[in-house]
Amino acid sequence: MKTLSENVSFGGVQGVHSHASTACNCDMTFGLYLPPEAQSGPVPLLWFLSGLTCTHENAMTKAGAQAFASEVGVAVVFPDTSPRGDGVPDADDFAMGQGAGFYVDATKGKWAKHFKMWSYVTDELPALLAENFPLDMDRQAITGHSMGGHGALTIAMNLPDRFRSVSAFAPMANTLDSDWGKPQLTAYLGEDREKRRKHDASVLVEERGFRGPMLIDQGTDDQFLDLLKPEALASAIARRRQPATFRMQKGYDHSYFFVSSFIDDHMALHAEALWA
């Protein structure tokens, strides 16, 4: 692992690190914010998964998570959204290829060798973090934006014993039936709809649910509402009677202005669960 940069932020340290990834067969980069408390012992960890076209840098520099993380003594990790490099397949469509890993382990075609973001985020990167940083891996929570919201919800519900809380900003909520999900996951995983069910947040809420706190924020003026399908997720929450807070935020769009406006609410939810 290489440390690419470290900057003091709100008394803690915002680092950027790279390493050779076995899961993705390429070098991967991630950001990690360590609050001041990390100087004296392990701290809880919040995952922030980013959306289409993003790198580790977008949420790290735009979401505004460090201030609250410093106050509550929680580390925040910002993984990349896909494998990258000259030998990694890409596509002309920004919703496929580099920047669009969808947090799945691809099994089909040219994607299968590198696009293992599920294994990277759930296995390889957690092990690397535990080995190299003062983190309490028994206290983890997860959030994300757009494609990352899809990733946060689906990972949390597939690994319910790992995460104490989950939240999402404008998540891709119905990947089985949306143009943001169906074409991409079919290319990555194949035509078998059953193999894609565990990567659909609305399906998982209704079939499995989540026993910890859950918060979803969605802007009413989001330019991608028809692709995100928040109504599918809200309906699934209601059908299961899943304890959750689902908020339609009037006038907000899909940008990081939206994310940064409500990041403190999400951080507070996770901090309470992590320190309980």
d(CA 159, CA 104): 14
CB atoms within 10 A of CB 258: 21
Beta bridge partners of 49: 144
* CA within 13 Å, CB half, 145: 32
3-class secondary structure, 86: coil
d(CA 276, CA 272): 6
CB 29 within 8 A of CB 55: yes
CB 114 within 8 A of CB 88: yes
Q: Which two tokens stand for residue 217?
A: 């924020």
d(CA 140, CA 205): 20
d(CA 165, CA 266): 10
Helices 65-72, 256-274: crossing angle, 10 deg rounding: 10
Catalytic residues: 146, 222, 254
d(CA 182, CA 266): 28
